[in-house]
């Protein structure tokens, strides 16, 4: 018994040690890569969605930090596959460049056996992706827009930002030279038609704004204003009789609707991608149970396909973590690069190719007869097949 014990330990220990070494190396590198991609995407979303509100004093720093935190599940859902591929390429590329992979294979280990820790991490990453895509990300996304809308709604007049061309209001462009509380100076307003042509231009020396909570509108009353009206049917004709330029003491109240700014987080108006798995199943059942109006069969099929496509997209995005891990192993060994930039560029290129294929299939959502919900699995099938083929090539 005493002789068998040390012998068994000696037999198992090297492989366990090797598995732990590869597992930790890949895990830490993947985590760092996911963090890098997530940081870049969070930075882009924060600048695009939040920076303007912060500069206009519509968001406090505490609210800004909380909203940035709610962006994390959203960006991680996309950063996870890219981070997995990058981490595998970096780690195995370094091991291969240092001849560690050659030493492992010389000791009799197959490539599949060496890559077992990578597959475990890929499987765990797929499970994490399913949770994020079907639960964490939708809840965080809805909460993000709800908190952003609530924060802005507490100070609706802050939507008027001085020295800025404001295009957030329907068929309106506004410019204000100065703003002191509710008092405005040097006000310019362009009213537009459906083709974005100017139908009326108002310039006022001063004015005052108030918020009407019953209609969710900003109401502006301007003084010492010059009003230029254009011909309604063709605003570019300045010689028509109903065109004109006039000086008025005080304009009629001009209303700016805030619905476009504050209706992004409505529960029923939210995007399908912001729904959890249970909500998507309820939505699918609701759409499928709707009576089909004669002559609108295609519209009904398209509406149902959009829900199915959203569900399958969440599944395929999660599985892409494992697909990227599979293709990353032979590519990392074959490339054998220690350079971070080269492996990072290869990972980004492959990920972009995957996402381009996914987007192209998504364009078929209006053609349910082509079964885009099935075709959406094509990128994963291609990457998995390519990974298996590369494995066999290197194994030979």
User: Phi and psi at residue 92, in whole multiples of 5°?
Assistant: -70, -30
Q: Are residues 18 and 97 in the same domain?
A: yes
Q: Which of the listed residues 205, 235, 257 is the one where a domain comes to its end?
A: 257
Which residues have C-beta within 8 Å of that of residue 261, sequence separation ≥ 6? 149, 152, 159, 168
Does any domain span residue 280? no
**Residue with more model confidence, 241 or 54:** 54
Q: CA-CA distance, 63 to 38, in Å (whole number)?
A: 20
CA 85 to chain centre: 19
List the alpha helices (DSSP H) in 156-276: 259-262
Q: Are residues 202 and 305 in the same domain?
A: no
Whether the Cβ atoms of residue 176 and residue 162 lie closer than 8 Å to each other: yes
The terminus-to-terminus CA distance of the chain in angstroms comes to: 41
Cβ count within 10 A of residue 341: 8
Q: Which of the listed residues 206, 239, 257 is the one where a domain comes to its end?
A: 257
Q: Are residues 184 and 133 in the same domain?
A: no
Residue 1 has pLDDT above 50, yes or no: no
Give the pair of three-digit tokens for residue 353.
């190719």
Cβ count within 10 A of residue 9: 10
Q: Are residues 46 and 139 in the same domain?
A: yes
Identify the three-state secondary structure at position 155. coil
User: How does pLDDT run across 280-316, given as a tens digit for each residue?
Assistant: 999 989 888 888 878 777 888 888 888 998 999 999 9
Q: Give me the pLDDT at residue 11, please.
A: 42
Does any domain span residue 268? no
Q: Are residues 126 and 38 in the same domain?
A: yes
Q: Are residues 147 and 180 in the same domain?
A: no
Beta-bridge mates of residue 210: 219
Q: Are residues 332 and 391 in the same domain?
A: yes
User: How does pLDDT run across 12-37, given as a tens digit for each residue?
Assistant: 445 688 888 889 999 999 999 999 99
Does any domain span residue 159? no
User: How does pLDDT run across 165-221, given as a tens digit for each residue?
Assistant: 888 788 888 899 988 888 889 999 888 887 778 888 888 888 888 888 777 788 888
User: Phi and psi at residue 269, in whole multiples of 5°?
Assistant: -90, 0
Give the pair of three-digit tokens for residue 350.
């492959």
Beta-bridge mates of residue 172: 191
Q: Give me the pLDDT at residue 359, please.
A: 83
Q: Are residues 62 and 18 in the same domain?
A: yes
Beta-bridge mates of residue 203: 188, 226
Q: Which domain holds residue 24?
A: 4-154+300-395
Q: CA-CA distance, 196 to 192, in Å (whole number)?
A: 5
Give the pair of three-digit tokens for residue 7.
């012998």
**Number of domains, the chain:** 2
User: How does pLDDT run across 266-277, given as a tens digit for each residue?
Assistant: 433 358 888 999
Per-residue confidence band for 231, with pLDDT thresholds at 50, 70 and 90: low
The model's pTM is 0.72
Q: Are residues 234 and 345 in the same domain?
A: no
Which residues have C-beta within 8 Å of that of residue 184, sequence separation ≥ 6? 160, 176, 178, 204, 206, 207, 208, 209, 220, 222
Does any domain span residue 38? yes
Does any domain span residue 199? yes
Q: Are residues 140 and 175 in the same domain?
A: no
Q: Which of the listed residues 227, 257, 287 is the one where a domain comes to its end?
A: 257
Q: Are residues 212 and 310 in the same domain?
A: no
Q: Give me the pLDDT at residue 268, please.
A: 37
Does any domain span residue 272? no
DSSP letter, residue 264: T
């Amino acid at each position: 018994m005493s002789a068998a014990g040390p012998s068994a330990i000696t037999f198992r220990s090297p492989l366990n040690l090797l598995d732990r070494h590869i597992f930790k190396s890949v895990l830490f590198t993947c985590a760092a890569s996911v963090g890098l991609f997530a940081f870049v995407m969070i930075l882009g979303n924060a600048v695009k969605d939040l920076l303007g509100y912060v500069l206009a004093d519509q968001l406090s720093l505490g609210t800004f930090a909380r909203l940035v935190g709610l962006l994390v599940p959203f960006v991680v859902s996309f950063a996870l596959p890219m981070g997995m591929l990058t981490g595998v390429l970096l780690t195995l590329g370094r091991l291969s460049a240092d001849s560690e992979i050659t030493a492992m294979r010389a000791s009799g280990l197959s490539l599949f056996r060496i890559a077992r820790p990578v597959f475990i991490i890929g499987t765990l990453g797929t499970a994490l992706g399913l949770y994020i895509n079907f639960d964490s990300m939708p809840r965080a996304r809805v909460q993000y827009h709800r908190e952003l809308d609530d924060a802005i709604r507490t100070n609706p007049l802050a939507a008027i930002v001085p020295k800025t061309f404001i295009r957030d209001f329907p068929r309106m462009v506004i410019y204000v030279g100065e703003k002191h509380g509710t008092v405005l100076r040097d006000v310019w307003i362009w009213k537009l038609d459906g083709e974005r042509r100017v139908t009326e231009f108002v310039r006022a020396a001063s004015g005052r704004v108030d918020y009407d909570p019953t209609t969710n509108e900003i109401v502006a009353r301007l003084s010492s204003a010059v009003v230029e009206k254009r011909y309604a049917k063709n605003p570019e004709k300045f010689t028509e009789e109903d065109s004109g330029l006039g000086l008025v003491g005080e304009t009629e109240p001009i209303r700016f609707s805030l619905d476009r700014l504050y209706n992004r987080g409505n529960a029923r108006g939210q995007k399908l991608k912001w729904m959890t798995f249970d909500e998507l199943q309820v939505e699918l059942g609701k759409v499928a149970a709707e009576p089909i109006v004669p002559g609108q069969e295609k519209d009904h099929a398209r509406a149902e396909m959009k829900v199915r496509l959203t569900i399958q997209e969440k599944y395929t995005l999660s599985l892409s973590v494992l697909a990227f891990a599979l293709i990353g192993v032979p590519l990392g060994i074959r490339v054998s690069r220690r350079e971070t930039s080269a492996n990072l560029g290869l990972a980004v290129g492959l990920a972009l190719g995957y996402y381009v294929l996914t987007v192209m299939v998504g364009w078929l959502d209006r053609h349910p007869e082509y079964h885009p919900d099935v075709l959406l699995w094509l990128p994963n099938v291609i990457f998995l097949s390519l990974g298996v083929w590369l494995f066999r090539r290197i194994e030979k």
